[in-house]
Each structure stands twice: as structure tokens, then as C-alpha cells.
Amino acid sequence: MPPEAGAAASRAPFGERLAAARAAKGSLCVGIDPHPALLGAWGLDDSPSGLERFSLAVLDAVGPVAAAVKPQVALYERHGARGLAVLEALLAHAAEAGVLTIADAKRGDIGSTMQAYAEAWLGEGRPLAADAVTLNPYLGFESLRPAIDLAAATGRGVFVLALTSNPEGRSVQHVGGDASVARSIAHAAAAENAGSAPGHVGLVVGATIGDAAQRLGLGLASLNGPILAPGVGAQGAGPEELGAAFGDALPFVLPTSSRAILAAGPAPGNLRAAAERTRDELA
């Protein structure tokens, strides 16, 4: 057996590892979003060096109190190869520290191109491999098959965009009413997780969507997988908004906050305190 196959075989499924992390540290996911303005507020240059100092400082501060961290891939890509090298280092350090990572890459394509994306973000031994990656299903849910299958084979996970809170998303995701595009994605993800406990195919559903998931019949409580919910903190979502958006599915939700926590830096103690406060408020 190749070493890569052995490593994958020894790794517990992503759903189980995420459930264990949530049981140990709570349900908060912290976004690592090195926006230029935030780097400046920390007294760092908008450069690969500043990016690295920021990223590793956030990981060290919040890793012990967050179920997962979610680096925003675009903010590393803007620095080219050196920025991606920082992302590789961040993912490696997180793995060494036992902190789950969700690469917020929103990849989606067809055929061999999707296979290549899958190998990049989920393949065993790949420098950018994270514990999970976000995917864009709007070339058809089945176009994501290479990533869904590779994630299962390597003990990793995927989070598929389903119902986002940006106004533009409604023009696609809400179309069809009771037979909406978002509903079809949610039901397809649930089918992938059937028989697993819990499954490795999650959804991305915005924390500020109000009652849209209920109105559109997504059936999130039947997903049998995790729900990544961006929008906590600076975007306005708190416990009340999460309850309204997810109802009976709330136990499966991984609420995500970034700016509201990252603005507390650069002092590590302040960052950790902000993460703990957010986690405890959402519990």
C-alpha cells in the first residue's frame, strides 16, 4: 500500500473528526481573513511576510478554542505564489496542532478540471490539502463528484454552497419556490450522507438568511452532515438569527465569525478572549 493510502486509511472520517472537535471545543469556526485593512490595523505590511505573521498568530491564538479555522483562499491568492506558500504553511501548522481546517476556495468545474481541484484541496500529500473545502455546485451538483468521492476516500469533507445571504444569490438559489435550486442541492447532499453518522458532505448556509431555508423546504435537519454558517458577528448574526435561520437543524450548525474576532488582535490573549466570548454567546 502506498504511504498516502495508508495515511488516508488511518484517518477517521471528517464528520467524526468534526463532531469530536465540537464536543471538545464548542461549535465556533474562526475565519482567517487577512484583508489589507486588517493587516494594516495590526501594524503589518500587506505582503507575504505580513500575511504569514497574521495567519500563524490567529491560528496559535484561536486554535485551542475553535472547532475549526477557515482561511479565505482568495486573500492568499492575491499575493501569488508566495501567498499560496503562506497558506500551505498555515495548513501544515494547523495539522501539526490538531486544528481542523476548511479551505474557503469555492471551487467548482467539470471533468478533469474538477478532478484537479479535488486533488489540490483534498488529495493525500498535496501541499494545499485541508480537512475540508468549500465547493460551488452551480455547474450541477453531480459535477462535484470527483471532490465528493476523493473527500470520502481520504477522510476529508466538503461544504457545498446552498443558500447564501448575499442579495445576488436569490436570483439563482431561490428559483423554483418549493422546488428551488437550493432545495435540490440540500437534498442531493443529504442523499450523499445517507447511512453515514455523520456524513462528510456539508452545506454552506448563511447565518443571516432569516426563514428562507424553511420557506424553500431545504430540510436541513435531515442533512446528516455539518452546516457551515458564515455571517456571525460583523455581518450581524447572533443567537437569535441562528435560531431563526436553522430551527431544528441548529445542532448541526458550525457558525463562522472572522472580522469581529480578528479585530481584537494582534495581542494573542485578546484574540483568544474574543473567540471564547463569541463561542460562549452562541452556545
Active-site annotation, residues = 106
CA distances from 102 to 6, 36, 89, 130 (A): 22, 21, 14, 6
Please enumerate in sequence order all residues whose Cβ is within 8 A of that of 5, keeping only pairs 6 or more positions apart, or say none: 124
For residues 87 and 73, the answer to whether their CB atoms sit within 8 Å is: yes
Residue type, 143: S
Q: How many residues are recorded in the chain?
A: 283
Residue 173 CB neighbours (<10 A):
22
CA angle 215, 203, 195 (to 5 degrees): 100
For residues 155 and 11, the answer to whether their CB atoms sit within 8 Å is: yes
Count of alpha carbons within 13 Å of 39, Cβ hemisphere only?
A: 19
Cell of 272: 483568544
